[in-house]
Copies of this chain bind each other. A is one copy, B any other.
């Protein structure tokens, strides 16, 4: 938990759990301190990683024993003021399995406190082969977090071995998200259990400026799509630095296709946006998680390229969503004009109270209320579908990952060996001293080279096709991982309505209150259907595109290999 691997060239100091270091500067800023180890090496260490005792620092390994996990998030949970909220939130689940919605691991039922993480833990089992990520080992590039007092970007990878990280990445990212989500919610009690009643029972919903109409289209309830859409191009990653060059980071340029204006953002800004969107829309709209955090190798070109590609995919998806893309927080993220405007907007977004279930208070279905039977059926259908699709996506990711490994590892290695074996045979043949076999030997050598060529064609192919299939499924895995929370909120609301008859009987609420509750659950159901229709429409588009691309590229691959095989052998006569 408390091992910390320094990023080379970044003035960091590698420290091990239990190691004692001397503080030379207790706060260089941004959550870092400067320390000196027993060998006299100096460097920066994250403050969170160390336990201070009389200006001597020892690594807090007793905490690790307590949680018996190397994931720092568990430590956050252990002292998490929101564990109560988690319990409340888990209580929304009708099946009583807390956050273990579609987890298959038995240990996920270990404690309510971990419930939020467990939803995400599940997602872990279908991590994408992180072929481009280089040796992932530690936290994000945002240690020098000068404004995020919420520790939302605290490291969740530390202590993971390089070999584990590529598989564990998805999970750790997920955990980080889920845990990170709790803290900002502290400010918005509306998101927690009491919030549900607040929404369902409020005498009069405040009419917010931000109205979200739901109309009935050809496919049923749907969001209103803006007349003009836009995308956002993520490009031009640049290394920046701060703290007098002590800390480095990567900054991306974001350009809106409608305004053609650019803003710069670091990963941690995306992370902030993600959290805002999750807090605000997370119970109505699945907000897929950002690409995984990573420290080691985060300045490597391949990693930067991969992260940019994923940030791009994430941004495009957000831009495609009619509600998210039009939201103030999202617009402000893309269109602030200067540092001051950005900070103002940031502060405003963080104070937004229309979050959690309260988002439904902004929604206005232009249709008659649904009855409870229908509401529950719709909700169950969505639960079944998303669960089944989650299984399907998981299966495809698993076999894809296996296939990726084979196609980039043993298979091309084998073709290379065949190529080498043919070439060395030709080399032996050339020493026979027998006349007139140079044609054969050239032909065998040629064949050997062809197999080396096939090796590299095979090894390169996944980047051209499987990669996109995996990325799309990975994104959908992210979407589907949001549904347990969404379904949970809906189920929770339905439960409240079911229980409401008792409350009316005991005069705790009025019949009118109950009527309001049904209306509001109906609004939620419309929102769910509108979102599902958006989801299905995107799903059909995405899978159509990506599987078509996959097949086209595969056909192209077989064609290319076929053409690479020449048969340079002349018919030969014996004797």
Structural contact, B555 and A569, CB atoms closer than 8 A: no
Specify which of B392, B396, B440, B550 is in contact with A540 (CB 8 Å cutoff): B440
Q: Is A552 an interface residue (CB 8 A)?
A: yes
Structural contact, B402 and A425, CB atoms closer than 8 A: no
Comparing A7-15, A45-53, A515-523, A558-566, the segment that makes contact with chain B is A558-566
With a cutoff of 8 Å between Cβ atoms, the chain B residues found around residue A288 in the complex are none
Given A399-B421, A433-B381, A544-B569, does the pair A575, B537 have CB atoms closer than 8 Å?
A: yes
Q: Is A243 an interface residue (CB 8 A)?
A: no
Q: Is A506 an interface residue (CB 8 A)?
A: no
Chain A interfacial positions (CB closer than 8 Å to B): 218-219, 225, 320, 381, 384-385, 388-389, 391-393, 395-396, 398-400, 402-403, 406, 410-411, 414, 417-418, 420-422, 424-425, 427-429, 431-435, 437, 440, 443-444, 447, 450, 532-533, 536-541, 543-545, 547-548, 550-552, 554-555, 558-559, 561-562, 565-567, 569-570, 572-575
Inter-chain CA distance A540–B551, complex, in Å, is 41
Given A385-B432, A406-B410, A551-B567, does the pair A544, B396 have CB atoms closer than 8 Å?
A: no
- Determine chain A's interface SS by DSSP, over half rule: helix
Specify which of B428, B437, B572 is in contact with A385 (CB 8 Å cutoff): B428
With a cutoff of 8 Å between Cβ atoms, the chain B residues found around residue A537 in the complex are 434, 574-575
Structural contact, A418 and B399, CB atoms closer than 8 A: yes
Structural contact, B225 and A575, CB atoms closer than 8 A: yes
Given A410-B406, A414-B402, A554-B565, does the pair A385, B540 have CB atoms closer than 8 Å?
A: no
Inter-chain CA distance A400–B410, complex, in Å, is 13
With a cutoff of 8 Å between Cβ atoms, the chain B residues found around residue A420 in the complex are 395
Specify which of B219, B406, B437, B569 is in contact with A551 (CB 8 Å cutoff): B569
Inter-chain CA distance A8–B555, complex, in Å, is 48
With a cutoff of 8 Å between Cβ atoms, the chain B residues found around residue A444 in the complex are 543, 547
Nearest B residue to A437 by beta-carbon distance? B540
Structural contact, A558 and B547, CB atoms closer than 8 A: no
- Number of this chain's copies in the assembly equals 2
With a cutoff of 8 Å between Cβ atoms, the chain B residues found around residue A434 in the complex are 219, 532-533, 536-537, 540
With a cutoff of 8 Å between Cβ atoms, the chain B residues found around residue A533 in the complex are 434
Structural contact, B540 and A565, CB atoms closer than 8 A: no
With a cutoff of 8 Å between Cβ atoms, the chain B residues found around residue A543 in the complex are 425, 429, 440, 444
With a cutoff of 8 Å between Cβ atoms, the chain B residues found around residue A544 in the complex are 440, 443, 569-570, 572
Structural contact, A395 and B424, CB atoms closer than 8 A: yes
Inter-chain CA distance A421–B403, complex, in Å, is 12
Nearest B residue to A473 by beta-carbon distance? B425
Given A406-B410, A544-B569, A575-B225, does the pair A399, B417 have CB atoms closer than 8 Å?
A: yes
Inter-chain CA distance A434–B219, complex, in Å, is 7
Structural contact, B396 and A421, CB atoms closer than 8 A: yes
Give min CB distance, A68 to chain B, whole Å.
35
Structural contact, A447 and B551, CB atoms closer than 8 A: yes
Structural contact, B562 and A555, CB atoms closer than 8 A: yes
Structural contact, A403 and B418, CB atoms closer than 8 A: yes
Give min CB distance, A175 to chain B, whole Å.
26
The 9 closest A-B pairs by CB, nearest first: A558-B562, A548-B569, A434-B536, A392-B425, A544-B572, A399-B417, A541-B574, A396-B421, A555-B565
Inter-chain CA distance A414–B543, complex, in Å, is 21
Specify which of B536, B547, B569 is in contact with A569 (CB 8 Å cutoff): B547
Inter-chain CA distance A389–B441, complex, in Å, is 13
Inter-chain CA distance A17–B355, complex, in Å, is 78
Structural contact, A393 and B558, CB atoms closer than 8 A: no
Inter-chain CA distance A428–B390, complex, in Å, is 10
